[in-house]
């Protein structure tokens, strides 16, 4: 009997060889709801003030992705008064059951994966004091940074535990962008010291309920991967190509699924569609063996050479006619 896309995806995340290569773009398996208690992913309708007091805004130029409002850092350069400024909300009278029941009541759990998230400790502290100030204070005032993380984690763990109890998620995600295009923002040693203990609190909850953990991290972040695998992270997106993806695949196999790995910056320069197809097939052949792969090819939004739609059509064709049944044909 054929399994659902949801079952197939979860099988892959748990380290098994799936029935077919999953794709978030071409399989309707993700049940989404808007989590209003955590950091917003987008802000298309104007400013959003979080429960921790941070104002986020979006812009059309950035596809309305939510970013801390410029000039509105809560702390500034001096973090000595953070206890007077940063306050986790009092949730003692909050109706958690109604909140989450209303959020997920129309989602078909038989075919849709539900994910609960959080864990953006680095980016949360960035939102409090700005990027440069945070990095400086990680060196100059590490005890205060640790105290702030411990305080913030009380709220994030409260939300995680309540969402796990009422949503009963299939997947737990951690999103915390801590690397740029050319380098991580701090060392692996500093990750171990400041952020790994709190990410582990999330993965420990996931282990308790038997849910796989998906990690979002852009940029050149490969130095953190051994620690991710150590605490039980199962999947990584977008797995950008400045990382040694072939080496990572060889080292960790299906312990860490690569949900990405496509170099659209490189391949969008191809104008020969036969070459483009060959690149897509090579992409599949590189990362599919042994499982732990999500087909994530995409093309950019620019249509300067008039070939964007052809690339999109080719990506879809290769998925269904080459990648989908790869484990049956190879």
Mean pLDDT of the chain, nearest integer: 96
- Is 302 a residue whose pLDDT tops 80? no
Mean pLDDT of 194-201: 98
pLDDT tens digits along 252-293: 999 999 999 999 999 999 999 999 999 999 999 999 999 999
pLDDT at 45: 87
pLDDT at 218: 96
pLDDT tens digits along 84-117: 999 999 999 999 999 999 999 999 999 999 999 9
Residue in the block written with tokens 């290769």: 318
Residue among 197, 199, 190 at smallest CA distance from 217: 199
CA distance linking residue 42 with residue 50, whole number of Å: 12
Q: Where are the domains of the chain?
A: 44-210
Q: How far is CA 317 from CA 277, 280, 314, in A?
A: 9, 10, 5
Other C-beta atoms within 10 Å of 123: how many? 18
| Percent of the chain whose predicted confidence (pLDDT) is above 70 | 100
pLDDT tens digits along 200-235: 999 999 999 999 999 999 999 999 999 999 999 999
- Is 299 a residue whose pLDDT tops 70? yes
pTM of the complete model:
0.95
Give the DSSP letter string of 132-191. Answer: HHHHHHHHH-HHHHHHHHHHHHHHHHHHHHHHHHHH--SEEEEE---B-SSSBSS-HHHI
Query: Which tokens sit at 115?
Result: 């994910």
- Is 1 a residue whose pLDDT tops 80? no
């Amino acid at each position: 009997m054929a399994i659902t896309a949801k079952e197939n995806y979860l099988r892959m995340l748990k380290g098994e060889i799936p029935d077919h290569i999953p794709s978030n773009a071409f399989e309707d398996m993700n049940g989404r709801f808007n989590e209003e208690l955590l950091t917003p992913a987008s802000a298309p309708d104007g400013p959003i003030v979080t429960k921790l007091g941070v104002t986020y805004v979006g812009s059309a130029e950035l596809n309305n992705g939510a970013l801390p409002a410029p000039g509105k850092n809560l702390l500034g350069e001096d973090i000595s008064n953070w206890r007077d400024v940063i306050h986790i909300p009092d949730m003692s009278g909050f109706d958690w059951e109604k909140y989450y029941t209303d959020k997920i009541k129309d989602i078909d759990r038989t075919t849709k994966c539900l994910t609960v998230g959080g864990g953006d400790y680095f980016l949360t502290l960035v939102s409090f004091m700005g990027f440069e100030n945070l990095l400086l204070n990680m060196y100059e005032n590490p005890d205060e940074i640790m105290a702030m993380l411990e305080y913030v984690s009380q709220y994030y763990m409260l939300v995680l535990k309540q969402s796990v109890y009422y949503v009963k998620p299939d997947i737990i995600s951690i999103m915390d962008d801590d690397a740029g295009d050319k380098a991580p923002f701090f060392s692996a040693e500093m990750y171990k010291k400041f952020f790994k203990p709190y990410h582990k609190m999330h993965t420990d909850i996931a282990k308790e309920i038997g849910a796989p953990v998906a990690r979002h991290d852009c940029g050149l972040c490969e130095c953190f991967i051994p620690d991710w695998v150590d605490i039980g992270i199962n999947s990584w997106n977008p797995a950008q190509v400045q990382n040694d993806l072939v080496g990572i695949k060889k080292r960790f196999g299906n312990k860490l699924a690569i949900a990405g790995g496509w170099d659209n910056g490189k391949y969008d320069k191809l104008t020969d569609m036969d070459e483009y197809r060959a690149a897509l097939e090579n992409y599949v052949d590189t990362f599919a063996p042994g499982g732990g792969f999500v087909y994530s090819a995409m093309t950019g939004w620019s249509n300067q050479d008039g070939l964007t739609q052809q690339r999109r059509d080719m990506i879809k064709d290769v998925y269904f006619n080459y990648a989908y049944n790869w484990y049956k044909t190879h």
